[in-house]
Each structure stands twice: as C-alpha cells, then as structure tokens.
Chains A and B, each alone.
Chain A
Amino acid sequence: MSRPERTHAPHDELSLAELVNRVLDRGAVISGDVVIGVAGVDLVHVGLRLLISSVETMRQRPERS
C-alpha cells in the first residue's frame, strides 16, 4: 500500500475565519417554543431561535429576502 500524502492539521491550512464560520453558521439548531410556568400556570411564552449569525449570512440575507 502506498504511503498517504501528508495531510496538515486544520489550523495549518484553514483559518480562524473557517472555524468561526463553522461554529456560527453551521451545526444543528434546537428550535421550538417553551412555555415557562410556575405551579401549573403558564407565565411567559418564549420562542427559542438562533441569536447570532456569521457576517457572511448577514450579508446574504437581504439578497435572499
């Protein structure tokens, strides 16, 4: 079997920007609504959604809408 070509660790070839994009712009989102209640009485209805986005997503948003 031939020896594989050396592959660099991620930080060697792909930048911090790549990490930021990956963490802020990809990955799963737990979505849904939660009703906060006390003693069986619903008090506040909270919509859970992603709070932040990458710069690139924000730039693209006006074009998509």
Chain B
Amino acid sequence: MGLHAYCVVHATSPAPAVAGIGGTPVIVLDAGALALWCTVHDAPPGPGIGAIRAHNAVIAAAMDIRHTPVPLRFGQWFIDADAARCLILRDAARWNRMLERFAGKAEYGIRVDDGAGAAARDMRPARTGSGTAYMEALARRHGEQAERRRLAASAAARIGAATAGTVSDTRVIETPPAGTTPRAHLVAVAHLVDRARERDYLEAVGAARRSLPELTVHHGGPWPPYSFVE
C-alpha cells in the first residue's frame, strides 16, 4: 500500500469533491499549515490516459473552488503518510511561496502552429544520393529552420505585446525541433493570469490572434499552474 500524490494546498482548503485514480476517494493529509491530496493504492498507478485524466481532475477540483493548488507531476508515490508528511514539512517554505504566488490565479496556454504539415515534415536530409545533393538538402534544411525561428520570434513578440499588462507571469514552453515530433509547434507560451483580470486577458488573446492571421493560434485554460512551479 502507498500514496499517490496530486497537489499541495493550504490546510484550510475544503476537501475535493471528486474521486481520484480508479475511483478511489481522495484523502487530505495534513502537514502543518499545508495539506497533500492523495489516494491510497496497492501499487503506484501507471501513466495510462484514464489515470492521467483522473490526476488532472483532482487538481482541477481545487481550481473549481478557487483554491489554486501547487499541482504535482504524475508519478510521485509515497510508502506511507509519514513519509509524505515529512517531505512536505521539510520544504514548507517552498510550498507556501508557490501557494502565495498562485493564489487567485490560473494558467492559460497559447500554442501557435505554422500550417498543416509544416511541423510534421521531416527536415532531415536524405542520406541517399550524391554528396552534392546531400549538402544542398542540408542547406535547405538550415534555411527552413532559420525561417521557422524568425517566424517563431515574431509570433512570440506579437503575443507578448498583445498580452502585456494582463498576465502575472509568462513561461515559454520549449519547442521541440521540427521533424522530431508530429506535434511540433512554432511557439507555445503559458500565462499565469489573475482570475480577476481574465476578461482583460481574453480580450488580449483575441488581439494576439488577430495579429497573426497567417498562423493557427490555439488557446486553452484555465488550468492549474503546472508550468509555473519552482
């Protein structure tokens, strides 16, 4: 038996109204002024889609009652309550600092794609054919990558300009090299937004979208602040 952990909240936060992975009830483990939401299992839950959705749902439940938690990455397993409590208390200052920073805020995300197929295209030059053909393919690849970097910088600048003043914090999500994944995006950013200013922020996102008519802009949120943990 052990504990799968979901998030750290203030001890005063109400208990979640949702079940955890596998429908197991979420228990609130007090650790001083903090609390850890977790579920008890015979073995560490595997990272299946259902478990990942359930993990997120428990953390999102804290958002629903306007108690922004510190979301924990999936896969943290404790042998017993004492082990979990010990580690939370040992780093209490860090958890309190994050809870204070996240209070009243939520994460939103913007992802920009540069057209169907561009991200998925394999830009690696073919290894067959003459040396000249290989070098020409390599040069083309470098040119395409440079153009992609320029486009990404331009898009990021426009998003930054449009949303400036409406976000508390911004994280640029690392972009995988084109051709390495079928979902490579041009640019992706996460915004930490004060929920009292969501209307202003959403208007700013609309402006950012209009300033990038040649690109596909995806927007999502509000989410737990996964991208802003220390």
Contacts and interface: CB of A to CB of B under 8 A. Distances in A.
Q: Secondary structure at chain A's binding surface: helix, strand, loop or mixed?
A: mixed
B5, B8, B79: which has the most chain A beta carbons within 10 Å? B79
B52 A28 contact: no
A42 interface: no
B73 A50 contact: yes
B27 interface: no
B205 interface: yes
A16 B49 contact: yes
B72 interface: yes
Which of A9, A17, A28 has the most B CB atoms < 10 Å from its CB?
A: A28
B220 A30 contact: no
Contacts, number: 124
A52 B51 CA distance: 13
Interface residues of A, number: 39
Contacts of B70: 28
Contact of A7 (B5, B83, B205): B205
B218 A13 contact: yes
Question: What does DSSP make chain B's interface, helix, strand, loop or mixed?
Answer: mixed
Interface string A1-43: 0101101111111111111101111111111101010000000
Interface of B: 5, 8, 44, 47, 49, 52-53, 55-56, 70-79, 83-84, 86-88, 90-91, 98, 109, 111, 174, 176, 180-181, 183, 199, 202-203, 205-206, 209, 218-221, 223-224, 226-227, 229-230
25 contacts: A5-B205, A7-B202, A7-B219, A12-B220, A14-B109, A14-B218, A17-B183, A22-B223, A22-B226, A28-B8, A28-B71, A28-B98, A28-B230, A30-B72, A31-B87, A32-B91, A34-B79, A48-B78, A50-B76, A51-B44, A51-B76, A52-B47, A52-B74, A55-B181, A60-B174
Interface of A: 2, 4-5, 7-20, 22-32, 34, 36, 46, 48, 50-52, 55-56, 59-60
